[in-house]
């Protein structure tokens, strides 16, 4: 790592892996949330659904931040 490029590549690779894991979780949560909304007969959402939506937003923002560092 004398020139610093190896370190940068390691960081980018790590960020890419974390982003991939986060996006898998986003897809999982979004699928669960969609199923909950479709099952709901009363056109209301419960607190768990709101928390899932908030977690999705948090994960997507985290991935967006990592992607902007990759430019």
Count of domains forming the chain: 1
Q: Domain range for residue 51?
A: 5-69
- Give pTM, 2 decimals: 0.82
Chain segment 12-45, per-residue pLDDT in tens: 899 999 999 999 999 999 999 999 988 887 778 8
Determine the 3-state secondary structure of 58 from DSSP.
Answer: helix
Angle between helices 5-39 and 47-69 in degrees, nearest 10 = 160
Which ranges in 3-46 belong to alpha helices (H)?
Answer: 5-39
């Amino acid at each position: 790592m004398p020139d610093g490029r190896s370190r940068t590549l390691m960081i980018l690779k790590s960020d890419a892996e974390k982003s991939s894991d986060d996006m898998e979780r986003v897809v999982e949560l979004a699928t669960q949330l969609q199923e909950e909304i479709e099952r709901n007969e009363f056109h209301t959402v419960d607190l768990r659904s709101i928390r899932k939506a908030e977690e999705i937003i948090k994960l997507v923002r985290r991935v967006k931040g990592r992607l902007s560092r990759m430019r």
